Structure 1
Amino acid sequence: MLLATCVVALFCFIPASSLAPPNCGDLVRPLDHVDGHQLDGRWHLIAHSPVEPDNQSAYKLMDSLGMKFSNASDNHNTSNLLLERILGFLGTCDYESSNITLEGNILTSSNESATFFHTSCSDCLILHFTNGRAHGNLHLYSKRREVEKEVMDEFKTQAECVKNQPPVMMDSSKKLCPDQEPTLSEDEELKQNLRLLLRILDLVDEAPDA
């Protein structure tokens, strides 16, 4: 009886806010409208939350992932932009450019689309991918390489709200790729590709047997 009384008393002193579920309706609320010109510049991936646990391993091999928007042109509620993805992977850099469309709060390319969610962070983007290779994934981008703990806590709760895996954070200490793809000679490019292949083979050798 005494134990039961103590347990009841303990819960009475726990704030109601700590027991209440998160207000997912507000946390994963899509933005009403995104101005294409506000996306200009480079955004760094801070953390990502995949739908499936298997999708986490590829991101752990990345040194960095960035998006660079430019050349926004508006037509009523639609913006056409140039998107350059900048991927740092095992010490090498890869660049991929594509034309994308921003309509309202939805970003669309030829093979995927994503919706912008609200965030309390003034220089952050939350993207929820609705189709394509990252279907269901939730990404947190920022103009900075690190964000405050409160921002990460909010993102973790957003991931819970969409029933995704716990977020994986990028390592901000790793070197960033330059904004523009460097011009390499054929010999330099061959050496770079060979180094990448050797590093991948090393990782395969180190991987535990299934």
Structure 2
Amino acid sequence: MMFALYAVAFFCWVSVSLSAPLSCEDLNRPLDTQDLSFLNGRWALVLASLSNPAHLGKLKERDSASISFASHSDSSKLSFTRDFSFNDSCLHVNTNVTVDGSGFIFHEFNYTVKILHTSCSDCAVMRFDRPGKPERVYLFSRRREVGPKELEEFSAQAECLGMTAPFVMDPTKKLCPAAPTAEG
């Protein structure tokens, strides 16, 4: 009888602890890996949050956005291509970035990017920081949209960082054709 009581108490504790919201520290913890090869390929921008609401206008002008990564012959570098679609035209921007732990550095824009933990198996949550301040957080996915659980988790990550409510990209808008990436 006593064992059954302990078992019930244990299972109640487990169910409550599993449903408890994660702390901001847990939600915005960078990945524990320095192997960023999982980033190779194309990712569609699904959700975005910014520290400055004034910058949302520029984001809203885009019909779609995607990024592509390609490994570099120098393992400390990645080729990074951004594709933006707006008004039936496409813009492709190629940049080499330097791998830095569980993220990378955009030297030309003075951004440090950290890849954050997420429960979404085909997503990459990226936090873009200027020195001393998180400025943007994006959820990229191999899909064009995510489910309510993933949206809720991303919203909590953005809220913890003091960002705007997530802006959802329109999944019905076509992505630009992938631009060739320059590998070195």
TM-score range, shorter chain: 0.7 to 0.9
Residue aligning to 1:65:
65
**Contact 2:104 / 2:114 at 8 angstroms: preserved in 1?**
yes
TM-score normalized by the length of structure 2: 0.79
Q: Which amino acid aligns with 1:97?
A: N
Q: Tell me, in whole angstroms, the C-alpha distance in 2 between the residues paired with 1:73 and 1:163.
A: 38
Gaps of 5+ in 1: 1-15, 182-210
Q: Within 1, Cα distance between the matches of 2:137 and 2:74?
A: 26
Give the number of equivalent residue pairs.
Answer: 160
Shift of 1:71: 3.0
Deviations 1:145-204 (A, max 9, x none): 1111100110001111111110100001011110127xxxxxxxxxxxxxxxxxxxxxxx
Q: Which residue of 1 aligns with 2:25?
A: 25
Equivalent residue for 1:13? Answer: none
Cα contact 1:51–1:136 (8 A) shared by 2:
yes
Higher strand share: 2
Partner of 1:150: 149
Structure 1 segments (4+ residues) deviating >4 Å? none
1:109 aligns with 106
Between the aligned partners of 2:179 and 2:53, the Cα distance in structure 1 is 33
Q: How high is the TM-score relative to the length of structure 1?
A: 0.70
Greater Rg, structure 1 or structure 2?
1
Structure showing the higher helix proportion among its residues: 1
Residue of structure 1 in register with 2:84 after alignment: 87
Shift of 1:58: 1.1
User: Which residue does 2:139 correspond to in 1?
Assistant: 140
Larger RCO, structures 1/2 (Cα 8 Å, 6+ apart): 2
Kindly state the Cα deviation for residue 21 of structure 1 after the two structures are TM-superposed: 6.8
Give the CA deviation at 1:106: 2.3
Aligned Cα root-mean-square deviation (Å)? 2.1
Identity %: 38
Question: Structure 2: any 5+ residue segments left out of the alignment?
Answer: 1-15
